[in-house]
Amino acid sequence: MEIHEEQIKKLEEMANTMRQDLIEMLLKAGSGHTAGPLGMADIFCAFYFHILNHKPENPFWEERDRLILSNGHICPIRYVAMARSGYFPVAELATLRKFGTRLQGHPEREKLPGVETTSGPLGSGLGQAAGIAYAALMDTHSTGSGQAKKFKVYCLMSDGEQDAGNIWESAMFAGKNKLHNLIAVMDRNNIQITGMTEDIMPLESLRAKYEAFNWHVIEVNGNNISEFINAIEEAKAIFEKPTIIIAHTIPGKGIKEIEFDFNWHGKAPNKEEAKKFLHELRTIGGKIKSEHE
């Protein structure tokens, strides 16, 4: 799927708007995660406004692509993407983490149409996604029609949750069963709640590990929307194994003073910080527009 410069411009502008929405909703909530969601804004923007085959007005459409969020704590940026793409009113973002809201601190499948799974315990998403992908292939074979299920199953997960053993059980299962309809995206931002990943539990070489489990591996700059979309197109062309995109992102992307600071993993901005962050993001938004004019 070819993408033009004008489309990239619009996606970059939307990603910046989404970051601003994120800061505003975290301020209203008084709690939540900041660094990871800021870093993943470009990827969620690419998914909801270009990659996914979905219908916000019909979230249970059978042929929709499935997007499984394993690291559920970054759900605020998913909520922003869903609201901006039409799943629910943007004004509802102000209810994040409020009593009775559909926008829980971790997403709940039964509360919000368009959310495929309830997530919270890290390490669970890849197994859920692999199960959905495997079932789709089973349905294809059982009908005898030879008509493959066309939807893709995407699983977004963090690098820190690669510490969990069930990730590797799921990776083994997906590789063994050649789940070519499964595309995982790892947010390789190098931080987790108490520090840098390589200090807490070294992960590298992630490429070699997934290749050993019979996965196709692509590494990209996850904050480059064009590069990420091209990686998805490459993944779609792989028919003999599952694919994982290791997306190198900057936690806190867009706010210089908190970029790569693990202390912002699970911290929300206060009023003064939010004001400063929003000013910086709006300045960036202006630069994005001028660069493409």
User: Which string of DSSP letters, residue by residue, matches 26-58?
Assistant: HHHHT----HHHHHTHHHHHHIIIII----TT-
Structure tokens at 226: 């064009």
Structure tokens at 187: 């947010």
Is residue 67 over pLDDT 80? yes
The domain segmentation of the chain, as residue ranges, is: 5-292
Average predicted confidence (pLDDT) for the chain? 93
Is residue 121 over pLDDT 90? no
Radius of gyration of the chain from its Cα atoms, rounded to whole angstroms = 18
Residue-level pLDDT at 55: 97
Is residue 287 over pLDDT 80? no
Report the residue count for the chain: 293
Q: Mean of the pLDDT values across residues 230-246?
A: 97
Residues 6+ apart with CB under 8 A from 164: 122, 123
Q: Mean of the pLDDT values across residues 59-66?
A: 95
Residue-level pLDDT at 8: 92
CB distance 84 to 18 below 8 Å: yes
Residues 6+ apart with CB under 8 A from 32: 25, 26, 76, 96, 97, 105, 266, 268
Residue-level pLDDT at 187: 96
Q: What is the pLDDT of residues 26-54, one digit of tens each?
A: 999 999 999 999 999 999 999 999 999 99
Is residue 11 over pLDDT 80? yes
Q: What is the pLDDT of residues 178-195, one digit of tens each?
A: 999 999 999 999 998 889
Is residue 135 over pLDDT 70? yes
Please tell me the least confidently modeled range out of 2-6, 88-92, 244-248: 2-6
Residues 6+ apart with CB under 8 A from 51: 65, 229, 232
Q: What is the pTM of this model?
A: 0.94
Q: Domain 5-292 maps to which CATH number in 3.40.50.970, 3.40.50.11740, 3.40.50.2300, 3.50.30.50? A: 3.40.50.970
Is residue 290 over pLDDT 80? no
- Rounded (10°) CA dihedral 185, 111, 86, 183: 20
Q: Note the Cα 200 to chain centre separation in Å.
A: 23
Q: What percent of the chain has pLDDT over 70?
A: 95
Residue-level pLDDT at 167: 97
